[in-house]
Every structure is written in structure tokens, then in C-alpha cells.
Amino acid sequence: MNRYLYTQFYRTKAYIIALLFLLIAGLMAIYTGKKFLDRNEDIISRSGAFQKESIERNTKFHKDDLGLVLYYIKFNLVNETPRLAALNIGMRDLNPSIQGVTIRNLEEQRYNADFYNPANAAVGNFDFSFVVVFLFPLVIVAFCYNLISEEEERGTWKLLSVQSGNLQKLLDHKMFIRLLAVTVVYFVLIIIASVWIKIPLDSYYIAFMVSGWLYILIWFSLCRWIVSFRKSSAQNALILLIVWVGINFIIPMSSNILIQKLYPVHESLKAVMEQREGYHNKWDEAKRPTMEKFYKAYPQYSNFTVEENDAFTWTWYYAMQHMGDLESAKSSEQYTEKMQKRNKAAIYLGYFLPNLHTQLVESHLAKSDLQNHLQYASSLKKFHEKKRLFFYPLIFSGKSAESVNWARQTIEVFKFSSSIKWIQILLPYLIFIALFIILSQYKYRKLC
């Protein structure tokens, strides 16, 4: 009987075509991720060359005026992109993996390229995670929706009931054959991705693989429960598709609207406006109040005095620039705080939606999630301050560009490290799988 079930499955052309469809879709997604990594690496390498060229050009033409040189030069901070990000691009295409900043005001430079909410990546990229979350369930539904109803509609159910000593075992074996076929395709794609993209087989990649496979297992356990009600094939297919649409689109979109209402984010634009107003207003204000606030923030520079009747000085100019940042600091902090709250709300919602949980887990493991973006933004702020505090004494002392060892001003890299919380990752999957198996087992007892 078991041999017959294997033969029946693999001789069905529709099933083979569906498996090939998954394989081709997965290969296309892996190719998309590979191109993303290549493009990202090319941008980073070009940025290094551009920064070096910019330094050479500006120091050549403005070598006697360090303040003017640093007005133009941008220093780049790279957000390290792991190879695993090719399988889950996440927010990496919305937020650049490298950003250059001058030592002038920071807030405007942080937001002037993107006036959008980073959490609005609704459906996502056509990457490997997209294929697993959205396409694999459709094939699983196509494989499993008629496991029982097909036999009843053909009139062979009673015959199977007589011939089979354990009908539940027979149905589970049919389910296992389908699970095995989908699992083989999944791990074939994983192996291809490992070799093609050269992803290191570390704990992050193992957690990534396990989360994707458990998500596949959830859909098989869900199908097992749905077909146990012995509805018609059309009804089973309709119910499973409604579930697929509901958890992938309706519930997440409705929840996103609710989260936006609870945590409205306008602070990025507000921070830019406050910074610009604070900066531009200083041209019409007295110099002394600006310098007093600057000395309070950085008392080590209080010996670099600026008189009210002084002509333009770089000391006053860069102090004025920083005051604009200080006046917008509260809005910037509120923006970060609200984005963190949105991220936490999405994580809590993911505990009830396996598809969202899978996306969040895999983007976190690939360091392409919102948390990585916020950590990078915080690191960029520290990077900017480090550059300012290094150059301020040289500028304020009237040093020339030749006083700086520019060879040491190279691109820096931000590395985001986070521990893998196995229980937090695996527990939601195991709960859903156990729940669906228990519910279906109860129905199977009545069925058999």
C-alpha cells in the first residue's frame, strides 16, 4: 500500500509541476538576493574610493582652510551586511547599508533622503523568505486539501476503510509523502543558496533554516486538521485559502493600521524642521547665547572664545550647527522610541501569526530588520560625534588641512551582534504544531 501511495503521488504531473514551480521560484529569489549583495558590495567599495577622492580634491583646493574642507567632506559608516541577508533582504533596500555624513548638523543628514516610515515594508521583497512564507503554503494547500474528500468523491473511501487496518495511519502516510517532497525542495534550495552565496553555516543560518522548516510544518499540521472535518474538496480549498489570505494580508494590514494609530510617527520630519529652524535662526540671533549653550555641552572648548562683533568664524558656525541638532534632539528620541514600540507590537503580533513570526525571526537573523536599522542609526550618531570631537580643536585652533593625517580617515564598519533566543524563536511554532495535531487527532478518532 505504501509503495502504491508513493507511485500515485509522483506519477501525478500536477504535483511534479508544483514542486518545479517552488524550485524555480526559490532559485529566482536566491538570484535576487545574490544580485542585491553584489550591488551592495559594489556601492560600499565605490564609496570608499569616492571618500578618498573627495578628501584629496578638497584638501588640494582648500588646504589652508580646514573648516571649509570639512564643510564638504563626508565620512562613511557601513552597516555590515551578512551573507544571510541575501535570503531575507528585509529593510535593507529601504535603508542604505552605508551612509555618509559631514561634521555639520546630523539630523538633517539622517532623514533628508527618506521621509517615510521604515515599518511600511508591507509585503516585502521577492527574496527566499518571501517564497517560503507566501508560496510554499499555496503548494502545501494544493497537495493536501483533498486527501480525504478525493477518496469520498471517487467512491473509494469505503473500500479503503475495509482494506486498511488503520485508516489514520494511511492518511498520515499520504501527508508524510507530501511533507517529504516539499522538505526536499526546501533543503535543496537551502544547499544551493549556501554554495552560491557562500553563506557560512553558523548558528544564525541554522536558526534560519529551522524556522523556515517549522513554518512549513505548521501548514501541514493545519491542513491535517482542516481535512479531518471531511468537507468537500472545494470547501477545504476555500477554507485554507481564506486562512492564507487572512494571516498574510487582512490581519497584518489591519494590525498595521492599528499600530500606526497607536504610535503615529511624525518625528523624523519634525526633527528635520526643528533642526533647520534652529540652525537658520542662529544667523539672525546674537552669537553669545549660542556659544554659551555650546560651551555648556562641551566645556573643553570654552577657551575658544567668539566675540559678538567678530566676523564669520568656523567656531561659531559649527557651534551653531550643533545647536540645531540639540534643539531637535527630543523629536529624534521620540521617533526612535515610537519605532521601537512599533517593532515590539509587531513581535507580539507575530506570536499569533506564524507567517509574521517567520518574517520577523528571519529578518532579525539576517540583520535586515527594524532593530538593526535603529541600532545603526544610534551608531551613526556616535560616529558623527566622534568625528566632530576629533576635528573641532583643529578647526577652532585655525589649523590647516595639512595638519590632519587623512590616510587614517577611512570607511568604518558598524557590526550589529545579537544573541539567538532559541526558546523565543521555536516556542510559537511548536505551540501551533502541537495545537493543530491535537485538534486533528481528536477528529481522526471519530473519523476512523
DSSP assignment string, 367-400: T-SHHHHHHHHHHHHHHHHHHHHHHHHHHHTT--
For range 223-245, the mean pLDDT? 94
* pLDDT the model gives residue 326: 85
The most confident of 34-43, 301-310, 327-336, by mean pLDDT? 34-43
User: Cα(first)–Cα(last) distance of the chain, in Å?
Assistant: 18
Q: What is the pLDDT of residues 112-127, one digit of tens each?
A: 544 334 333 344 578 9
For range 362-366, the mean pLDDT? 96
Report pTM.
0.90
* pLDDT the model gives residue 120: 37
Phi, psi of 78 (to 5 degrees): -95, 135
Between 9 and 429, the more confident residue is 429
Q: How confident is the model at residue 111 (pLDDT cuts 50, 70, 90)?
A: low
How high is the mean pLDDT of the chain? 88
Q: What is the pLDDT of residues 241-261, one digit of tens each?
A: 999 999 999 999 999 889 888
Angle at alpha carbon of residue 402, lines to 397 and 406, rounded to 5°: 105
β-pair type (98-101, 412-414): unpaired
CA 301 – CA 415 distance, rounded (Å): 32
* pLDDT the model gives residue 198: 96
β-pair type (75-79, 412-414): parallel
**Reading across the β-sheet that carries 98-101, which strands appear in turn?**
98-101, 75-79, 412-414
- The answer to whether residue 433 scores a pLDDT higher than 70 is yes
Closest to 8 in 3D by CA, of 139, 170, 135: 170
Q: What is the DSSP letter of 59?
A: H
